[in-house]
């Protein structure tokens, strides 16, 4: 065997690997307006734009069927895809669903998965239009692709922010991560002692954030109604810190993020404390909240202020100023993405 160079994937990380694989990618069709690098690809189609995005969920990597009900899993597999379309300020229209299943699963189990898929389709007004079905040696794989639409003057990229734009987040953060911590804890208790019943009472909100997340089409509608077109936008799948860095990198800017402004639900806060975690760190780095992070012009502030669904957490600034997290007492430090990385922490989605 020849001794060829071997680079470990870990040394690049997920984003490094995608960059390596796609840096030489070129488009041959004029209709390809945006290829790799945003929440969805953007394709010209007559008088409007089509949006296309895809996500894959693997058993043992992205979900654990010992505590994730199949119906919820089907629902979530669709919702996380829709979220990427909403992050472009678009509307999701059609999905395809591909599955690989081992013989461990019964027909009834896969029907249960599909009941969640159909519920998400019905709730979000999207049509299931196809897919693929295969056997798998081990476990379950679900891959969903979604097509959306947006008008050309409404599409929002990660790269459109300007200096002094306000940085805004929808909803609250960190809940999905605390839901996961609770589920993992109860699982380990159960593994140690199968006679003990899971104790998850009183945690509905954070459990729902983890098991049955929603995508924020209501925020896309709200912004449209308020006549606000964000200058840049991304959905929060990997954690706020990581997504702020994406917006900054792609817009060629820095940012100030004010720690005490980051919205945290009281239950998330309390559960973080119970686990002896810093709620602020959980909100910054816990993934899977599927909220929207976006920037707006300062002149739009009056339109969004006071809305309970929207929180201004900072503003964009010159690249040289860096990306700063500013604490209540005024101390600041450079924001880093300690968020999980699919290749480094393989138990998260």
- Work out whether 196 is an interface residue with ligand ADP (CB under 6 A): no
Cβ contacts of 137-141, under 8 Å, gap ≥ 24: 137/102, 138/102, 139/58, 139/59, 139/60, 139/102, 139/104, 140/58, 140/59, 140/65, 140/99, 140/100, 140/101, 140/102, 140/105, 140/113, 141/56, 141/57, 141/58, 141/59, 141/98, 141/99, 141/100
Task: Indicate which of ligand ADP, Mg ion, none lies near residue 22 (CB less than 5 to 8 Å, by partner kind).
Answer: ligand ADP
Candidates 20, 22, 106, 224; binder of ligand ADP (CB under 6 A) is 22
- Work out whether 18 is an interface residue with ligand ADP (CB under 6 A): yes
> What string marks each residue from 123 to 162 as x (binds Mg ion by CB under 5 A) or -?
----------------------------------------
Sites for Mg ion among residues 208-267 (CB under 5 A): 235
Q: How far is CA 73 from the centre of its chain?
A: 15
- Work out whether 265 is an interface residue with ligand ADP (CB under 6 A): no
From 161, 127, 116, 146, select the one nearest 252 (Cα to Cα). Answer: 161
- Work out whether 288 is an interface residue with ligand ADP (CB under 6 A): no
**CB of 105 vs Mg ion, minimal distance in Å:** 29
Task: Indicate which of Mg ion, ligand ADP, none lies near residue 37 (CB less than 5 to 8 Å, by partner kind).
Answer: ligand ADP
What is the rounded CA–CA span in Å between residue 254 and residue 315? 9
Q: What is the dihedral of CA 146, 284, 228, 322, to 10 degrees?
A: -110
- Work out whether 21 is an interface residue with ligand ADP (CB under 6 A): yes
Q: Which is nearer to ligand ADP, 180 or 304 (CB)?
A: 180
Largest CA distance in the chain: 67
> What string marks each residue from 14 to 53 as x (binds Mg ion by CB under 5 A) or -?
-------------------------x--------------
Indicate the burial class of 266 (C-beta count within 10 angstroms; 0-12, 13-18, 19 or more).
Answer: exposed
Which residues are CB-contacts of 171 (< 8 A; sequence separation ≥ 6)? 216, 263, 289, 291, 309
Candidates 143, 203, 231, 237; binder of ligand ADP (CB under 6 A) is 237
Candidates 36, 129, 196, 344; binder of ligand ADP (CB under 6 A) is 36
Sites for Mg ion among residues 81-110 (CB under 5 A): 84
Residues contributing to the site for ligand ADP (CB under 6 A): 18, 21-22, 36-39, 55, 84, 237
Q: Where on the chain is the footprint of Mg ion (CB under 5 A)?
A: 39, 84, 235
């Amino acid at each position: 065997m020849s001794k060829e160079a071997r680079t470990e994937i870990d040394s690049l990380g997920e984003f490094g690997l995608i960059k390596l694989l796609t840096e030489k990618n070129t488009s041959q069709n004029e209709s390809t307006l945006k290829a790799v690098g945003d929440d969805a690809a953007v394709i010209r189609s007559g008088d409007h734009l089509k949006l296309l995005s895809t996500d894959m969920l693997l058993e043992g990597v992205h979900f654990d069927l010992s505590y994730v009900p199949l119906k919820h899993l089907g629902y979530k597999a669709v919702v996380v895809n829709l979220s990427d379309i909403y992050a472009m300020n678009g509307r999701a229209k059609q999905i395809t669903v591909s599955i690989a299943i081992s013989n461990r699963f019964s027909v009834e189990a896969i029907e249960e998965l599909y009941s969640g898929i159909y519920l998400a389709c019905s709730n979000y007004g999207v049509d299931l239009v196809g897919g693929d079905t295969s056997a798998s040696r081990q476990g379950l794989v679900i891959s969903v692709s979604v097509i959306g639409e947006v008008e050309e003057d409404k599409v929002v990229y990660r790269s459109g922010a300007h200096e002094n734009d306000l940085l805004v987040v929808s909803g609250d953060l960190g809940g999905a991560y605390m839901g996961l911590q609770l589920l993992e804890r109860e699982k380990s208790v159960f593994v140690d002692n199968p006679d003990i019943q899971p104790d998850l009472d009183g945690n509905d909100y954070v459990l729902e954030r983890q098991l049955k997340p929603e995508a924020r089409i209501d925020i896309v509608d709200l912004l449209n109604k308020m006549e606000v077109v964000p200058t840049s936008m991304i959905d929060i799948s990997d954690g706020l810190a990581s997504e702020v860095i994406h917006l900054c990198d792609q817009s060629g800017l820095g940012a100030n993020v004010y720690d005490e402004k980051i919205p945290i639900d009281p239950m998330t806060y309390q559960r973080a404390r119970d686990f002896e975690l810093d709620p602020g760190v959980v909100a910054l780095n816990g993934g899977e909240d599927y909220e929207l992070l976006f920037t707006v012009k300062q002149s739009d502030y009056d339109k969004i202020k006071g809305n309970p669904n929207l929180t201004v957490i900072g503003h964009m600034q010159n690249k040289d100023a860096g990306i700063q997290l500013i604490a209540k007492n005024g101390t600041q430090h450079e924001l880093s993405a300690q968020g999980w990385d699919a290749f480094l922490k393989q138990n998260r989605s």
